[in-house]
Structure 1
């Protein structure tokens, strides 16, 4: 649940926002702002569940805000803080849909209790709106699409072995003791002199091929879908105790039926590429790549045929596993997770540099990781020399590594240096962003509407990033920093003899009384007494 605090008095706002550990109550504090206009801006850009607002504020009162919230965000629960002389008036405004009114000065415990009560009501309403029966029906309606998306991602190697297993359980698919054979179907090029179709109709006839395959290959042992490029992908499965030859013959027979039906219906030809049989779910993506390679052979063998993949053996599990380890190593380097990085390197050593591997395979594996590290650096737009610095010579001499231990140490050292460089440059990027933000604050200190949201929009830096990093980088919260700058600037101008109302405008206060109130609270004297 997200809470938005709206309070124009800085000390009250800070007390509620920072004096209460909202996270301990499973409440996410979205923002603490000083005006209703800022609050509405946030609500139009973020999903807010609860609003805690003062009643008396310049420009737009809390009651007006509550009225706007009821009209635009009817499910949001609004809690108002009101002074004694406003309390009865506020209680009469039931039409504004206010959840509860608290009399100032409300203690933190009372505020927390009321917010939690509002959250409870909000959660019940959400539960009623999204009850289990409704969610089950939505899941049922979307099930075919989600299942197809799972297969597409699985075929294209976007899942790790653990993710395949987890997703298959969600879709009630039994992957144990199964064999798989992937294939790809595609329409052959349309001749320019064809009387029924033109080359521009390729997407249309591809879809017709998909519908024919889906109609002719029903049942749970066939999964038919369109891949991202419009070609028809098929996953064929059978129990593991089925003879592979019989399984392949049946697949070939049905593929021939599909190709023949396409020719009869469309008077066009289609071709198919058939991968190899695999017995491990993780290897399906590799076999699917093989089917696509086989399809490319139609350039040699001609159109309108099914072409099996020919190679010197089935996909090797260790090579597919290496793809997963590459992804894990890259992620650990990017995120700076030292523990995960070293675990992954240990797994790489065990997988590809153990004693049972021939030298040529180990050299090939080493080349893969040299290329991975170089690609990671170049992806950021950097050079290896600038990134690795004094380590560049050792990086270039990777071919001189003579033992498993040397390779592991080299890989860890190079990965660590790249990870460190990424962290340093991100920190530098944060400092550049904060310098831009500080510059904007100083240039717009005279604007009453100055806020993190305004800065976010003008500097194209996300609000969530600003709110998370500002205090860490500057040492003060945004509210504290702006207030200090305004008060210091106001004192400087007043000491030079400037009029109070002029100073008020120059430091972002439209109402002189409000400025004077804040100035006296901050410095302990009235603005008019500065030169006395």
Structure 2
């Protein structure tokens, strides 16, 4: 809907004023008469009171003429369109008025049609200006809404790329950044275990968590100094602030850490860069903050790490004991998971228990190397199909972009567990096959009086190892199983009607009383009682 325009009519001739104001249907043209005046002085008062868009006025008037009125009105209302009514004798005055900023003039004698024509031309000019103003205001609104994103983008560029002091300052002014232009510190703030804690949450809830943490950080920082906080990663924020003289940056960062822990269900790790003096040096402080934050690899989080407190990192790559490496591989080949995990813990303890800990990236590289060695050991013992599960977890370890020492250690041990369980399964299958082979022989040769060593020789094992293996699989000793199998066969033969003496001899017992004694011990009945129990009565 078009905006209704306001218009004043000023002339010292009453009939002129009434004719213009009353006899023309201005409302049909979207214009409302908001007042009339009979001289320049009253006209100025009217204009100040009603702030019209259009003023239709005579040039020659008592007290204040049209030219003086134009100067005064346009000084305060530069967008007001002033249209003069002038006679031929006033023509030079009218031209002078236009030079002063009046919109147009109408020379007497004028008709309603001519007045309407000029006023509507003024209306079009006003509407065009209004449209331009609205477009400008819309651009300003969009710019205001975009400023946070533009500032974030600008700071992200400053963090990553070099710039000149002049270029940095120009952009700083345009974005109206509310920080002092000297002395900056960059702090990186990372939500601990963010991926693990949010992997099952909907997107809206994850976004709410990030918004909450960022808001806490902004409020915490605002209490002490001027700063700007923005997201740098899914779970990471950057704070750029002017360090105050009254409080250390470490103390400010500790306050941020405590507030996040207190007012949310999460904890954060913070890495502090050193102070820099100028805008174009911010990238240096960011690189230092990134290096400091990487040391949450050792602690697992909820800690402040300052670059200035970091010792020079160990330059040589950590090496583990060759003897322990061999011992680990022996355990893996045999499927001894508890011992393998204990050795992995010892290897990591050796790596990090030094006066100057290695850089986190170095330890991650060490973990990758150890994982590949473990994978190679298992590949010598397992089938291609069995190795697929191990290789999937190996790739998982390799592709983890952000994890802690404990997590790396646990994932290496998980790799050991997957492989050892497969080897143990293989051992069980092999053991079952060996024992089943002997059991089949016992069933087919129940009468043979073989020793444990004799059975062990059948499957190419030592007597003691075979005896332990047999008991582990069956829950019985070899002799117990042989006796049990003979008694089961004896039952079948008794039911078939065979004589006890015949059965005893066929099962390798030369002494019938001894056989009967074993049978009763096994079944709770003598052979005769068992036979009578199951015989058909005539």
**TM-score bin (small chain):** 0.3 to 0.5
State TM-score, norm by structure 1. 0.35
Q: TM-score, normalised by structure 2?
A: 0.35
Larger of the two Rg values belongs to structure = 2
